Amino acid sequence: MRKSIVFTIVTGVNILLLALLAVHAHFSRISAASERLERAELVRTLQLTDLCLFTEARYTRHPAMSDRFAPFQDHPGAMEHFPSGSLVTPPIKRIHEHSP
Amino acid sequence: MILLTNVTKTYNTGKHNQFTAVDDVSLTVEAGRLTILKGPSGSGKTTLMALIGCMARPSSGRIQLHNIRTSFFTGADSRAPLDITSLPERFLTEIRRTTFGFIFQQFNLVKGISALENVMLPAYPTGESQGAFRRRALELMELFAVARHAASPVEWLSGGELQRVAIARALINNPAIVIADEPTAHLDSKLSREFMEMVGTLKAGGKTVLIASHDPLVYDSELADTVIGMRDGRITGLSGLS
Amino acid sequence: MSTPLNRHSNILDFALSSLLRRKSKNFSLLVVYTLIVFVIASLIFFVQALKREAAQILKEAPDMVVQRMVAGRHDLIPVAYGEQISAIRGVTAVSPRLWGYYYDQVFGANYTLLVPEKNLLEPGSIMIGPGVARNQRIQAGDMLALKTSRNIPLLLTVQDLYPSSSELISSDLIVLSAEDFQTMFNLPAGQVTDLAVTVANPREQVTVAAKIAELFPDTRPILKSEMLRTYDSLFEWRGGMIVVVLAVAVLSFIIFAWDKATGLSAEERKEIGILKSIGWETSDVLLLKFWEGIVVSLTAFLVGVVLAYGHVFFFSAALFEHALKGWSVIYPQFKLTPVIDVYQLTVLFFLTVLPYTAATIIPAWLSATVPPDAAMRS
């Protein structure tokens, strides 16, 4: 078989796989919708503000509730040493934005 | 028929190393004949062939193709001479591809790919369907007795076989004119004689053949219709048919 | 028949033959390149799915949380503040929240202790997240012993576990009654952790927040939109590890491109000369190089993206686990709902396929302009 045809088939199969994954994504979103509703319900009843992604420190467990300087609260010279600390951003600057 | 009128090719014009490779050459290459350019190395043979083969443009003078089919201008008056000195670059490439077949001194085959692919190489960009030119390539390889090496990479082939592959490659686009530059330089006498036999085959097939050589086996061949002597870019003698 | 399609497929044929000549070099190139696409695409899939999840479930978070700050630190807030806040126009409800952290010395884990708004639980019984259950090796019906702030063990019965599908929010939770919370931490009377404020009209939220900040200068209102934005900017590219991953990817790409741009060997140059001499146009040579670039980069892109999808959504981003887990003892085991962000994948496509193809074409272009008789005269 010609090499160009082999390549076209391989690429076609790859694109088809990608399309199938898109279909998979679509249907798993639909099937996961009820579970997501349950999660949202739990957030509502427990009045949660954050995802439970990193349980290492207060400012990574509840990033939305912490300050910019939260990592340094325990010790002024505290070095960032949690891997997750480099994945969460400092909270969005507040207070000044609340002035009307 | 190819007609050259006062063709001059100067390299590095205006610089201190300026030199004239072809100096005021006028000659006629008859269609269907074997024309041989004879002369020592540096005599301007290769440059002259490059000019005829549309690989380079002359500095002055004109080169005309008479009664040569090209893939374009076919609708127009094809009997009118085609002046290749004034054509744009892409037409030159087109003419080179469809009208000329080249056999180089170093064979110039691409290493690492099969002999068959090497033969097919000039046909790839033409847009012809591969089935068609693949068949033609195999026929040509059959004709030059290298068909059994079709799938082998070219570096496995001997000198004589490489020469045959190179000839097959020159013919893949079914050119009207075959140009060979010092084709026997890397061949022994036996292989050189074989090469001349193949040239005879080409001639019998109606091809115009143009060979540059300083090998007596070539220019003393009975097949030669015209032998043009060259030295220092000028024509020094003409023998055979005029 | 002479067609442009034939020309492309012919030249593609030769491009593939040409690539196969340096089989091991080009294959390892493809593998490394696929790996780079795989890592970046995994990151895109993971982060996008997580952001989507956060955006959708945190819509149910409190409209506003009011914290009290003392000496720059988050401190307990008097319930009395809530009464005044609820008098502000636009505020529908204020409910005190009780929550805190508990470090278990035996198991080395941090738990989040939380009292629900409505008293769902009897004193003595708790609900726990799946991460706590794994960490403590307990199930529903078992007992959990916590040490109070007075160092007295408090025995609590696990009434139930939160389902594993909720792990992304509940993994480290211990939900308990207000009485048990008080026993645990012994909070001063009339004080809570913070206040959840409900403002029915979203447009009034900023005004209400400003009024609260004015009324109580020692408080800090956090709007729901800010919580959502926190998660929207999570895993931003400037985040330490993300920068490292991207830098490695970019650097390896530069090495490729450099190798390509400078690596047009004498042999390759000679080949281009041969092609030109046998009647290939400059554009044909460039088309050949274009296909050589496309074959490698397109294959790497497609395979990398497909593998990344499998990695993130079928294997829960197993390769990222250690980076995400870090030093935490409780690591939520969640399955993300797949999200394919077409925009980001398109950007990735253009960032991978185009530069590579360009890096293949440009050096060839520079030498493809050699006059065709160069090969003859050499």
Instruction: Report CB contact under 8 Å: C306, A14.
Output: yes
C87: buried, middle or exposed (CB in 10 Å: 19+, 13-18, 0-12)?
A: exposed
B110 → closest Cβ in C10, C271, C373: C271
Per-residue model confidence (pLDDT) at position A75: 56
C18 and C88 in a common domain: no
As a whole-number percent, the residues of chain C with pLDDT over 70 amount to 96
Question: Mean pLDDT score of chain B, rounded to an integer?
Answer: 87
C241 and C188 in a common domain: no
One-letter identity of residue C286: L
Per-residue model confidence (pLDDT) at position C377: 64
- Cβ-Cβ contacts under 8 Å for C346 (sequence gap 6 or more): none
Instruction: Report CB contact under 8 Å: C298, A11.
Output: yes
**Is C267 part of the contact surface with chain B (CB cutoff 8 Å)?**
yes
C41 and C125 in a common domain: no
Q: How distant, in Å, are the alpha carbons of C273, C286, C357, C363 from that of C259?
A: 21, 18, 13, 11
What's the DSSP call for residue C192? Answer: E
B130 → closest Cβ in C10, C274, C287: C10
- Cβ-Cβ contacts under 8 Å for C285 (sequence gap 6 or more): C272, C275, C276, C364, C368
**Is C265 part of the contact surface with chain B (CB cutoff 8 Å)?**
no
Query: What H or E segment, with its residue span, contains residue C147?
Result: strand C143-147
Task: Say if CB C226 and CB C60 are below 8 A apart.
Answer: no
B56 to chain C: which residues are within 8 Å by CB? 371-373
Average pLDDT over every residue of C25-44: 89
Q: How distant, in Å, are the alpha carbons of B164, B240, C84, C93 from that of B199?
A: 11, 17, 108, 102
Per-residue model confidence (pLDDT) at position A95: 45
Q: How many domains does chain C have?
A: 2
C152 and C247 in a common domain: no
C119 and C96 in a common domain: yes
C101 and C29 in a common domain: no
Can you list the positions of beta strands (E) in B12-159?
19-29, 34-38, 60-65, 82-83, 100-103
Span of A15-19, A93-97, B170-174, C23-27 with lowest mean pLDDT: A93-97
Query: What H or E segment, with its residue span, contains residue C199?
Result: strand C194-199
What's the DSSP call for residue C125? Answer: E
Q: Which chains touch C (3 or more CB pairs under 8 A)?
A: A, B
Per-residue model confidence (pLDDT) at position C262: 67
Do β-strands C77-78 and C191-192 pair in parallel, antiparallel, or remain unpaired?
Answer: antiparallel
C193 and C51 in a common domain: no
- CA closest to C57 among chain A residues: A40
Q: What is the nearest CA distance from B50 to chain C, expressed in angstroms?
A: 6
**Is A68 part of the contact surface with chain C (CB cutoff 8 Å)?**
no
Q: What is the nearest CA distance from A34 to chain C, expressed in angstroms?
A: 10
Please identify which residue in the block is written with the tokens 């989040």. Answer: C112
pLDDT above 80 for C373:
no
**Is A74 part of the contact surface with chain C (CB cutoff 8 Å)?**
no
C116 and C212 in a common domain: yes
Q: How far apart are CA C233 and CA C242, in angstroms?
A: 12
Task: Say if CB B68 and CB B178 are below 8 A apart.
Answer: no
C176 and C153 in a common domain: yes
Phi-psi region of C334 (alpha: psi -120 to 50; beta: other; left: phi over 0): beta
Q: Identify from B87, B108, B155, B173 which residue to disrupt to test chain C contact, counting C C-beta atoms within 10 A and taking the largest count.
A: B108
**Final residue of a domain: which of C223, C247, C271?**
C223
C74 to chain A: which residues are within 8 Å by CB? 65-67
Instruction: Report CB contact under 8 Å: B106, C378.
Output: yes
Q: How far apart are CA B153 and CA B98, in angstroms?
A: 26
What's the DSSP call for residue C312? Answer: I
- Provide the residue range defining the domain that includes C100: 63-223
C372 and C241 in a common domain: yes
* Confidence at B172, pLDDT banded by 50, 70, 90: very high
Please identify which residue in the block is written with the tokens 């870019």. Answer: B233
Task: Say if CB C378 and CB C273 are below 8 A apart.
Answer: yes
* Confidence at C278, pLDDT banded by 50, 70, 90: confident
**Final residue of a domain: which of C223, C238, C272?**
C223
Per-residue model confidence (pLDDT) at position A93: 58
Q: Which has the higher per-residue pLDDT, B237 or C193?
A: C193
ipTM for this prediction:
0.87
- 3-state SS assignment for residue C10: helix
C170 → closest Cβ in A7, A52, A67: A52
Instruction: Report CB contact under 8 Å: C375, B104.
Output: yes
Per residue in C291-315, pLDDT tens? 999 999 999 999 999 999 999 999 9
Instruction: Report CB contact under 8 Å: B130, C11.
Output: no
A41 to chain C: which residues are within 8 Å by CB? 60
Inter-chain contacts counted by CB atoms under 8 A, chains B and C: 101
C229 → closest Cβ in A85, A92, A99: A92
pLDDT above 90 for C356:
no
pLDDT above 60 for A74:
no
- 3-state SS assignment for residue A31: helix
Question: How many other CB atoms are there within 10 angstroms of residue C315's CB atom?
Answer: 12
* Confidence at B242, pLDDT banded by 50, 70, 90: very low
Per residue in C52-97, pLDDT tens? 999 999 999 999 999 998 887 889 999 999 999 999 998 999 999 9
> Which residues 76-95 of A have a C-beta within 8 angstroms of C?
80-89, 91-92, 94-95
Q: What is the nearest CA distance from A52 to chain C, expressed in angstroms?
A: 5
For C191, the token pair is: 């004080």
What are phi and psi for residue C69, nearest 5 degrees? Answer: -110, 130
B114 to chain C: which residues are within 8 Å by CB? 17
What's the DSSP call for residue B126? Answer: G
Query: What H or E segment, with its residue span, contains residue C266?
Result: helix C266-277
Q: What angle do CA C138, C144, C149 make, to 5 degrees?
A: 145
Domain definitions of chain A by residue range: 1-48, 58-95
A22 → closest Cβ in C194, C326, C340: C340
C7 to chain A: which residues are within 8 Å by CB? none
Q: What is the nearest CA distance from B129 to chain C, expressed in angstroms?
A: 6
pLDDT above 60 for C330:
yes
Q: What angle do CA C320, C162, C191 make, to 5 degrees?
A: 100
C370 to chain B: which residues are within 8 Å by CB? none
Instruction: Report CB contact under 8 Å: B55, C373.
Output: yes
Q: What angle do CA C363, C369, C374 make, to 5 degrees?
A: 115
What CATH number does residue C86 fall under? 2.40.40.20
B237: buried, middle or exposed (CB in 10 Å: 19+, 13-18, 0-12)?
A: exposed
Q: Which chains touch A (3 or more CB pairs under 8 A)?
A: C
C165 and C76 in a common domain: yes
**Is A50 part of the contact surface with chain C (CB cutoff 8 Å)?**
yes
Average pLDDT over every residue of C173-195: 92
Per-residue model confidence (pLDDT) at position B211: 94
Average pLDDT over every residue of C36-61: 90
C210 and C234 in a common domain: no
**Is C67 part of the contact surface with chain A (CB cutoff 8 Å)?**
yes
What is the per-residue DSSP string for B14-53? Answer: TSTT-EEEEEEEEEEE-TTSEEEEE--TTSSHHHHHHHHT
